[in-house]
Structure 1
C-alpha cells in the first residue's frame, strides 16, 4: 500500500513547490513522526525510506523535523531503451534513495528451474565426493512428517555414481550449497570420520539448520539425488591427518570450476550469517505485492511528447527516489490524459536482498555465483532467482526491471552471470568510455577482457576467511574464463604461461598498471590495504587485501614505455597454473627506464593529499605554481610498506604508459610505476612494486629534464 503522503504527491501533486528546474518538486514527510506512522501503516515507499535513513545514521525516534522533498522527472538516459519517470527523495540537498516507476515458494522455484535453459540437459560430470539424498527422498515420498532421523551418506568415486544411475537414471543430478561458515563451525569431513560418513551416514538432526533445510529442499527436486557441500565434500584440517587435508585441498580446488559449472542448481543461504540459521526466513507477504499508483505527470517537461498514437499502447516509466523504486508498465487512459498507471519497483531491491547479503560478501561465494549455471537465493523475506538469462524475485517472478543508479542516473544494469563479450563486455567498455571514442576498438578480444576487469574489480572487494586463498578463490573463474572465452578464439596467441597470478599474458604490460583507489572519510584520504608478499608477487593485485578493492589496469598495446621480456612463475601445486604461487619466487624481466625519487608523507590539511614525491635530481623550479612535489599518487599498502618513507629507501619512478586510454587524448596522464630497489646481482637490479603515480601534461613538461636524463635497462620485478 501507499500512505496518504505518497498518494497525495504522486496522484494529486500535494505539497508542490516552485522549481526552475526540469523536475517537479514536492514536500514529502516534514516530521519524523509522520514517516514512522506511514511505516507502521505499511507504505512500501516509506518503509524503504525509513530503513535507508536509519542506515545513514538518522535517529527517527527523536520526533524532530525531517523536511524530506520528492522530485519527479522524466529520464531518458543514453543506455536506457525505454522512458522512465524518476522519483528522487532529497534530504538536506542530497539524494538518499531512488525509486523507478516502470509501466508459493517451491512451486515458484520449480517453475524457474523448468523454464531456465542455462544448465546442461544431462549430468556429464561428477565431483569426487557427493552426499546421497536417496533415503531422505524416500522418507519424504512416503509422507512421513518426521524425517529428522533420515540419513545422508557420503559417496566417493565413479563406481558409486554408476551404481546409483543404473537404478534411477533420471534422478542423477547434483546441487551445490553456498553458505557462510561464520562463527558457528559446521559439521566437517575430516580424516577420522570419512569411513563413518560413507558407511553409517549422518542423520538430518545431527546437521546444522542450513544443511538440514538445503537437504529437505533439494530432496523435493525431481531430478536431484546428490548434494555437494564444501565442508562435507572436501577434507578439512584435523589433528593427526598427516597432511591429508592439504593434499585433498589441492586436488579439489583444481576442479572447483567444474564442481559449480556442472551442477544442476546452486542453492544459496544468502541471508544466513552462519550454518545455524537455516535457509527459510520469516516471509514478509506485504513486500511481495506489487504497488500500483495513478501517477500525475502534468507539468513535467516533455510530458506532451508522451502522448501515444493508440490508447492501448503501453509505456514504461520510472521513478527515482532516495530508496529506489520503479513504476512499471504504464497505460494511458486517453490521448490527452496526464495520468499514467504505474507499478512501483525498488531500484535498490536486488542490491539490498542479494548483493549486500552476508554470504555474497565472501570471495569464494563470488566465484560460486559466477560459475553455477543458476542460483536460487534464500533471502530475507523471499526467494530470488539468478541466471545468465534473467533475475527474478517473488514480486517479479518473470524478471525484475534491471536498473541501477550510476552517477545519479538510472541505467540498465549488467547481469552478473553473463559472460558474453559482445553483449556484456561491450556494454562495460561503453560505460568506461562515457561517450568518448574508443582508441582500442580494433584490439583483439577487448570486450572479452573487459569482462575480466569487472570480475577482478568486484572480487578484490570481497572478504576471505583465509587470506592465503586470494588466488585459489579466483582460480575456478580464471580456468573457466581461459577455456571458454579466451581459448575458444582460434586467433589467441600461444603462451607458455597464459595466466600470471591474476593477470593475463596477453597485454600484460598495461595490466600491470592497476591501482588501489583510496577512500575518503571526513575529507581525508585513507588506505588500509595490507600486503601479503608470500601469496603473490608485488606486481600482482592479488598480493593485497584492500577493502575498497582495486582498479584493474587497461588492456592495450599502445602508448606503452616499457616491455615485459619474460615471465617466471613458481606454483605451489605444480599441476595447477591457475592456483597458488610462491609469491617471493615469481618475477618479471622488464625493459624500462628508471628515475630515482624521494617519497614523503604530507600534511593532508595543508597539501590536500597524504603522500607526495619528487625527482631526487630535479633542480628547484622558479615557477611559483610548481614546487616539484607530485601528489597524484596511489600507494599499494603504505602501512605494510612503511619502510618506503625511511631515508635511503631507494625509490624509483618508472614511466609506463599514457592513459587512461578511455579518456580524451587531452585528458591523459603519464602513468608511472613506483618501485623500491631491493637488491641487485650480475644479471640486473631487483625491484618491488609499491604503487602508481600520474603526471599531468603540465607536470610532465616541468619535469622533462629529469625524465629525459634516463636510459633503458633490464630489471627484475618481483
Structure 2
C-alpha cells in the first residue's frame, strides 16, 4: 500500500498514490464514482474524504454541514468525484490534489514534513477553548519579547483613548465606562460587525448607566466573549466603538473618528470578530477539528520502476516521504478575507492600523503581526500553499511593506538602498488597496473618506509624503483621474451612485463600485508625456475626513465629439464616421437605460497623457470624458475615461493603423489650451 496514515483511509484514498494508477499516464483519475461510495467513505470517517466533504460543504453552504443531514437527491451534486495531481510550483514546496465534481472542486495541499518537521500541533473542538486562547497568549508573549519590527510600530509615548471600558471584579457590576484615564498600561480594541442587531450603545440617555457600571448580561455575545479574551490575557481595559463613542452626538463622533489611527495603533492588540455578521454571534464556535488539523500521510512507492525520477515527474508522482495534508480553506483568503467582518470599509482601516490582530474565524483562531502569521495548527507560521492559490491580501502586504520601510530607515538612520523600490511597491499596493476598499460595504455612505482617513494619513501623508485629494494622490493626480469603475458589471440603467453627494465626479468615491486606479507608466525611452496640468484644487473636509466640497482647475485641450452609448460603453464619432477606433471608445461611469441605448450625446475628451514607445508598437493617449455640469454653467463633470491607441503586431499596415490616432492628435494640436473647472 503506497499511502499509510494513523487515521482511517478508504480504499479509494489508499489508491491515490498507487503507482499502477499513475502508470496510466492520465491527468485526471476516478476517485468515488457514485454517491453510495462517497457516503460509505464518510461513514467510516475516511480522513481524506472527510476533508474533501468539509471543503465541498463550505463551498456549497458557506459552512460545514454534517454529511448525514443532506438528503439523497441533494447529495447527488457531490459525485462522481475525479481528481488530478499537481507537482510543486517554483514558488512553493507544496504539491496539490484537486478533486472535481461537475459543480465543485476541493483542493488538498501536501507539504513534506522534512521541510518543517514540527509544523503543527493538535487543536481542540472549540475556538474558545483554553488551548486556543493559550496559543494566542503565547504568540503575544513571543511578539513582545522577540519581534523588534512589531515593537517599533507602537509609539513610545503612551496614548489612552478618550473612553475605555474597565473590567470590574465585583458581584453586581461587570464593566464600567471610564473617561479620560491616565497612566494605564495597556488596552485592547475590538473590531466587529454591527449588522442588523442594535446592541446597547453609548448615548446621552445611556451614559449615566454605563458610567455607573452594568452587568455582562446587558451586552451581546460578541462583547461578552471579547471581555473574556481580555481577562484571559490579564488585561483590564477594552475599547469598543459603540460603547466608547457617543452615537447621538455628531461632534463627539467626528472627533473620535479622527482618532481611529491612534486608537488602533496603540492598542496592545485587536480582537477581530471575523466570522460574526453581527454582535449576537460571538467569537467562539464549535468546530470539526479535522477541518483545521493536517493529516500525516506516509507515501512509499512499492514498484522500484516508479522510483525513477523521470517517470515520477512524467506521471506527477510525489517523492517517497512523510507529508502533511491540509484543507485549502485553512488560509486567510477563505476564513478571514472572505468573512463578513472583512467586507466592511471601516474594518480595512482597523486591520491595517492594529499592530497585532487576533482573528476569531468559524474554524480557527489566527495570530497576525508584522513578523508572524499563524494559527493553532501551525504555530510556527502558515504553510506555503500551492503556488499563488493563497495570495496575501493587499492591505496585509501593504501593511508589511510600510513597516519594513520604516524599520530599515530606523536601523540605517537614513534613506536606504531599498527605499526607492519599497516606496514604489507601497504606492502600487496602496492603489490595489483602494480598488478593494472602493467595493467594501458602509452602513453610512458618507463615511467613505472618514473610514479611510487613518490609513491614508499613515501611508500617503507620513510614508509617501504626498497628499490625498478626494481619494486621489496629489502627486499623480492627472494620471489617477483616469480611474475605471466596474460599471460593465451593472445592469442597464442600474444606479450605483450614493444617495447623497460625498465626492466630486472625478473621484472614484463618487460611485459605489470597485474602481481601478491606473498604475505607474513604465515604458521605453520615449515614455509618457503629460497633456494636462493641474492648476489648483479645492477640497475642504471636516475633522472626521468627510468632504464638504471639491473642485479641480486643469489646463488642458478639449476635444468635442459625439458618442453613441450602449450599456457601459460609448463608441466615438469623428467627422461623421462611427467607431473608427474599432475596440477603442469610452468606458462610461454609468450604464444607460435600455430605452436610451444608442442615442447620440455630445462629450468632451480631456487627454491627460500621451504614451509613446520607441518601436511604435504601442502608442496611445488616455484621459477622461467630460460633459457640461448641470450645476455650474462654466464647469464640467466626469462621465467616463478613455484610451485611444495604436497596437501594431506586424500583421497589418502600420501606417494605416496610425490614421485614426493621427487624426485625433491633429485635432488636438489645432485646439487652444484652456483652464477648466471640474
Tell me the alpha carbon deviations over residues 297-323 of structure 1, each in whole angstroms, 9 at most, x when there is no partner: 89999972899xxxxxxxxx9xx9xxx
1:177 equivalenced with 2:190 (yes/no): yes
1:552 equivalenced with 2:555 (yes/no): no
d(CA) in 2 for partners of 1:225 and 1:394?
Answer: 25
Paired position in structure 2 for 1:436: none
> How has the CA–CA distance of structure 1 residues 30 and 672 changed in structure 2, closer, same or farther, with 3 Å as cutoff?
farther
d(CA) in 2 for partners of 1:369 and 1:221?
Answer: 20
Paired position in structure 2 for 1:234: 245
**Aligned to 1:101, what secondary structure does the other structure show?**
strand
**TM-score, scaled to structure 2:** 0.78
1:208 equivalenced with 2:220 (yes/no): yes
The answer on whether the counterparts of 1:87 and 1:98 sit within 8 Å (CA) in structure 2 is yes
1:96 equivalenced with 2:105 (yes/no): yes
2:575 to 611, 615, 618: 618
Unmatched segments (≥5 aa) in structure 2: 1-6, 64-69, 113-130, 406-418, 648-656
d(CA) in 2 for partners of 1:660 and 1:292?
Answer: 57
> How has the CA–CA distance of structure 1 residues 156 and 412 changed in structure 2, closer, same or farther, with 3 Å as cutoff?
closer
The answer on whether the counterparts of 1:191 and 1:235 sit within 8 Å (CA) in structure 2 is yes
1:29 equivalenced with 2:59 (yes/no): no
- Deviation for aligned residue 1:580: 1.1
> How has the CA–CA distance of structure 1 residues 483 and 422 changed in structure 2, closer, same or farther, with 3 Å as cutoff?
closer
d(CA) in 2 for partners of 1:693 and 1:31?
Answer: 53
1:294 equivalenced with 2:298 (yes/no): yes
> How has the CA–CA distance of structure 1 residues 374 and 535 changed in structure 2, closer, same or farther, with 3 Å as cutoff?
same
Unmatched segments (≥5 aa) in structure 1: 140-146, 166-171, 238-244, 308-316, 321-326, 331-337, 426-440, 488-494, 603-608
The answer on whether the counterparts of 2:272 and 2:358 sit within 8 Å (CA) in structure 1 is yes
1:457 to 412, 425, 435: 435
Paired position in structure 2 for 1:486: 464
Count of aligned pairs: 606
The answer on whether the counterparts of 1:587 and 1:716 sit within 8 Å (CA) in structure 2 is no
- Deviation for aligned residue 1:102: 1.5
The answer on whether the counterparts of 2:609 and 2:622 sit within 8 Å (CA) in structure 1 is yes
Paired position in structure 2 for 1:529: 496
**TM-score, scaled to structure 1:** 0.74
- Deviation for aligned residue 1:529: 3.5
The answer on whether the counterparts of 2:570 and 2:585 sit within 8 Å (CA) in structure 1 is yes
d(CA) in 2 for partners of 1:382 and 1:450?
Answer: 31
1:341 equivalenced with 2:341 (yes/no): no
d(CA) in 2 for partners of 1:16 and 1:526?
Answer: 54
The answer on whether the counterparts of 1:189 and 1:231 sit within 8 Å (CA) in structure 2 is yes
2:551 to 573, 583, 587: 587
Matches within 5 A, 1:628-647: 630=583, 633-638=586-591
1:687 equivalenced with 2:671 (yes/no): no
Matches within 5 A, 1:140-539: 149-157=172-180, 160-162=181-183, 165=184, 172-198=185-211, 200-222=212-234, 224-237=235-248, 245-295=249-299, 304=309, 338-350=319-331, 351-403=333-385, 406=388, 416=396, 418-421=398-401, 445-487=423-465, 498-517=467-486, 529-531=496-498, 534-539=501-506
Paired position in structure 2 for 1:51: 57
> How has the CA–CA distance of structure 1 residues 123 and 95 changed in structure 2, closer, same or farther, with 3 Å as cutoff?
farther
The answer on whether the counterparts of 2:273 and 2:361 sit within 8 Å (CA) in structure 1 is yes
Paired position in structure 2 for 1:567: 536
Paired position in structure 2 for 1:655: 607
The answer on whether the counterparts of 1:403 and 1:411 sit within 8 Å (CA) in structure 2 is no
Paired position in structure 1 for 2:67: none
The answer on whether the counterparts of 2:536 and 2:554 sit within 8 Å (CA) in structure 1 is no
d(CA) in 2 for partners of 1:475 and 1:422?
Answer: 16
Tell me the alpha carbon deviations over residues 480-525 of structure 1, each in whole angstroms, 9 at most, x when there is no partner: 11454224xxxxxxx7xx221112211222222211135669xx99
Paired position in structure 2 for 1:702: 660
- Deviation for aligned residue 1:420: 4.5
Paired position in structure 2 for 1:490: none
> How has the CA–CA distance of structure 1 residues 403 and 478 changed in structure 2, closer, same or farther, with 3 Å as cutoff?
farther
- Deviation for aligned residue 1:368: 0.6
Paired position in structure 2 for 1:144: none
> How has the CA–CA distance of structure 1 residues 282 and 303 changed in structure 2, closer, same or farther, with 3 Å as cutoff?
farther
